[in-house]
Structure 1
């Protein structure tokens, strides 16, 4: 029971890392999605290297780079502005930064595609009614973007949650690290890895349950043009 209790502690750490990393990815993805709708030279100079690097390098390798080289990199950046600051990068910080930076690039493409799929008539009608620009985005565009991007955002959350298992290799004490520890001590790896699998399956089921409710809420007032008919085999 002591090892099962440790698995519970690791599960809470897994959820904490996944939530923080996903929020960081959403912030980066939304920022880059809006900035790259009409990109200028400065935006391209930032976005293209960022997207190329973090979509081309595995998240585990990014975690290693942040954990083992993050302290020196941050200290070097502070020294450029005349500040002698020593920053310690913890496994939690490296895990959140790695997953957030990697999946922020994917979410940027997802959110930008959803924005471009909003009919242009929505923008034109809002401008014709003299709706302020901030209100156009908050009350008209973003709710429609949420409806279009929600399935992809749900899948991305599940991927981030599952990728937390890789981050245990940089020393983060999450559920997979405790499962490995318990398996080595008790010589019963099947039991503890099965419990870890049950946790991820439960989180996935809970995600789909919440996503279904959120999808119903986002589709309120939306009438699809698709006619529901019985499929015929040719």
Structure 2
């Protein structure tokens, strides 16, 4: 039987895992949305910046990015500050390095996903809003974004699950999340099977909860939408 002290530590680690995953995903969503919007119109400078960003963060493993941020982040910030004549000393914590690494890596993937969803919105939606003199902010907020959500939701759901599972790698930079506590408990009690199974149950539970919530959001986003061909759910649950 697992010791209650270690089970409590697993609970603390689970909360840290959720915290890192949520903040990383929100950062990735903000970065992805920003790049998706600015790259809709083909501009040379913006396109070059996007290509450099996407090439770096889709070509380098997220764990390696976390290592770079954790061990070299302070030096990078100090070097950038020195370019404008400032002297800055920043201590990069494992938590900050984890959130920044996962957010910036998966922001590149979400940018392509969101941009594709926007481009798949029928052009007539934009034209109808323009003819009806709907203000552009209202057009995006009330007309376009609900349709983008419906189109991008399956990919965004899968991306959230990938981000959540990638938090298991971040224990290698010293962050005390659920896998770090599972490893600690396994080493002390010599019962790795029990604690790694408990960690697996946590991730499976979070995955099930994600699919449950995504189905509710999918039902909400499809109100009033009648597809020509009815599509089955993309996932197994």
Q: TM-score range by the shorter chain?
A: over 0.9
Q: In the alignment, what sits opposite 2:169?
A: 166
Q: Within 1, Cα distance between the matches of 2:115 and 2:193?
A: 43
Q: In the alignment, what sits opposite 1:176?
A: 179
Change (3 A) 1:227 1:103: closer
Out of 210, 216, 222, which is 1:207 matched to? 210
Q: In the alignment, what sits opposite 1:197?
A: 200
Report the secondary structure of 1:182's partner residue. helix
Q: In the alignment, what sits opposite 2:6?
A: 3
Out of 74, 78, 86, which is 1:75 matched to? 78
Q: Within 2, Cα distance between the matches of 1:9 and 1:205?
A: 20
Equivalent pairs, count:
228
CA shift, 1:45, in A, is 2.1
CA shift, 1:84, in A, is 1.0
Out of 91, 96, 99, which is 2:94 matched to? 91
Encode CA deviations 1:107-153: one digit per residue, 9 max, x unaligned: 00000000000000001111111111111101100000000000100
Consecutive aligned runs of 4 or more in structure 1 exceeding 4 Å deviation? none
Q: In the alignment, what sits opposite 1:106?
A: 109
Encode CA deviations 1:177-223: one digit per residue, 9 max, x unaligned: 00000000000000000000000000000000000000000000101
CA shift, 1:226, in A, is 1.4
Out of 108, 117, 121, which is 1:118 matched to? 121
Q: In the alignment, what sits opposite 1:43?
A: 46
- TM-score normalized with structure 2 length: 0.95
Change (3 A) 1:59 1:127: same
Q: Within 2, Cα distance between the matches of 1:44 and 1:70?
A: 26
Q: Within 1, Cα distance between the matches of 2:90 and 2:79?
A: 10
CA shift, 1:227, in A, is 5.8
Q: In the alignment, what sits opposite 2:153?
A: 150
Q: Within 2, Cα distance between the matches of 1:177 and 1:227?
A: 44
Q: In the alignment, what sits opposite 1:232?
A: none
CA shift, 1:79, in A, is 1.3
Q: In the alignment, what sits opposite 2:235?
A: none
